Amino acid sequence: MTNLTPKIGSARDAYSGRLFPTVQIETFRNIDQLFPVRTVSRGDAPVKAFKDRPLPLDDMTIETDQGDYDLYDYIARNRVTALLVAKDERIALEQYEYGNTDATRWMSMSMAKSISTTLVGAAIHDGFIGSLDDQLTKYLPILKGGSYDGVSVRHLLQMTSGVHWDETHTDPNSERRHVLELQLAQKAGSILQYMANLPRVAEPGTHWNYSTGETHVVGELLYAATGEYLCDYLSRKIWSRLGMEADATWWLEAPDGLEVAGSGLSATLRDYTRFAHFVMNDGVIDGERILPEGWVREAGSAREVGGQPLDYGFMWWPVHPSTGTNFESGFSARGIFGQYMYINPAEKIVIVVWSARAKPIGSEVILDNDFFNAVVKTIR
């Protein structure tokens, strides 16, 4: 008799890029089996249905430094497991692969970072956090006397704290993998304690260093400021008000502990799209402002750090147009193995991509930004 239970890989092997494709895909659509989770409730609001808007994307050309590709190349060569393109909040393309469906919940990986920082914007608008220039120690006294003393909320959201961090997923000795081990140990408070004891290597605001650990501090900040778990605050402020199709789930650092703010949120393709539309619409729901005015533009914009240009906002990545095009820049949330929410407010275009690539980074054949720019160019 055939065992119909899907085989799920381990978290260590997943982050190491040591899963065969079938197991990897089952793992990515069942990540709520890897750790305890909390639910982001969709609430009782009616589902907001999408209308269709067919557009000629089948014949698009993706121009890259390595040559031209088409839509079929992008999906096949980048091992895309689902893709949705929306223009003016109407679906132009919705494609599922490898057994995924519109009911599948798929991992966000670091797309969750962008959702977490969006909640900081909501908390500032609500008055729970005074301003971006508040010191973290105002909300997290445990950080006093350590490397995060003197670090502001703004520094944290930009990952310019100056605190040491190695993000290498495939190196078992990196800080990123150490935090994974703490997550596996499921002891509440251990990740924040670890972050508090890391050394400082630069003055706050002078040096950028990508750090998933910083996002866990974002989660701790939100919990301290709002008094609510991230799932509950996200549900109350946003998720339950957008007409979502399904509850989402979010990894916890321990049973009944805090959410892992930098990863582990899992939702359906259309619900990621609805969240992206909320951001595209400047953080307004049914006429009510949820995010401060101007927040979205700043969160998705490039800046200068230490005298050098930096294509990083509040844990969102600016996406500049290709040479020779004249449309405005967009920005994206992105996660390892090829997870993306691309948003272009000026063009009213949203693209959501799920993938199951061989390694955490660098396994794509076609750069995703080239694909996003090709979509915008084709639709225009």
Residue 270 lies in a domain: yes
Q: Picking from 3-12, 131-140, 301-310, which range would have the lowest pLDDT averaged per residue?
A: 3-12
Q: Is residue 5 part of a domain?
A: no
Q: What is the pLDDT of residues 153-179, one digit of tens each?
A: 999 999 999 999 999 999 999 999 999
Tokens 């996406």 sit at which residue?
319
Range of the domain at 217: 11-379
Query: Considering the domain boundaries, does residue 140 fall inside one?
Result: yes
pLDDT, tens digit (0-9, with 9 covering 90-100), for 227-237: 999 999 999 99
Does residue 323 carry a pLDDT above 60? yes
In a domain, 30, yes or no: yes
Q: Which DSSP string do the residues of 141-181 spell out, in sequence order?
A: GGGTTSTTTT-BHHHHHHT-S-B-----TT-TTSHHHHHHH
**Rounded alpha-carbon distances, angstroms, from residue 348 to 53, 88, 89, 192, 371:** 13, 5, 7, 38, 16
Average pLDDT over residues 295-315: 96
295 within domain boundaries:
yes
Q: Is residue 3 part of a domain?
A: no
Q: Is residue 40 part of a domain?
A: yes
Region 20-25 average pLDDT: 97
pLDDT at 65 over 60: yes
> How would residue 2 be classed by pLDDT, with cut points 50, 70 and 90?
low
- Over residues 40-45, mean pLDDT: 97
Please give the pLDDT value at position 226.
Answer: 98
Which residue(s) pair with 91 in the sheet?
Answer: 52, 86
Tens of pLDDT, residues 174-211: 999 999 999 999 999 999 999 999 999 999 999 999 99
- Note whether residue 6 is domain-resident: no
> What is the number of domains present in the chain?
1
Where does residue 106 rank: exposed (0-12), middle (13-18), buried (19+ CB within 10 A)?
Answer: buried
Q: Which of 142, 114, 118, 149 is nearest to 317 (CA)?
A: 114
pTM (2 d.p.) = 0.96
At 133, which amino acid appears? D
Q: CB-hemisphere CA count at 13 Å for 135?
A: 12
Going by pLDDT thresholds of 50, 70 and 90, the confidence category of residue 80 is very high
If phi over 0 gives left and psi between -120 and 50 gives alpha, with beta otherwise, what is residue 367?
beta
CATH number of the domain that residue 130 is part of: 3.40.710.10
Q: What is the mean pLDDT of the chain?
A: 96
What is the reported pLDDT for 4?
Answer: 59
The string of DSSP codes covering 21-39 is HHHHHHHHT-GGGTS-EEE
Per-residue pLDDT band at 1 (split at 50, 70, 90): very low
- Predicted pLDDT of residue 3: 56
In angstroms, the CA 76 to CA 373 distance is 18
Please determine, for residue 149, whether its predicted confidence score (pLDDT) is greater than 80. yes
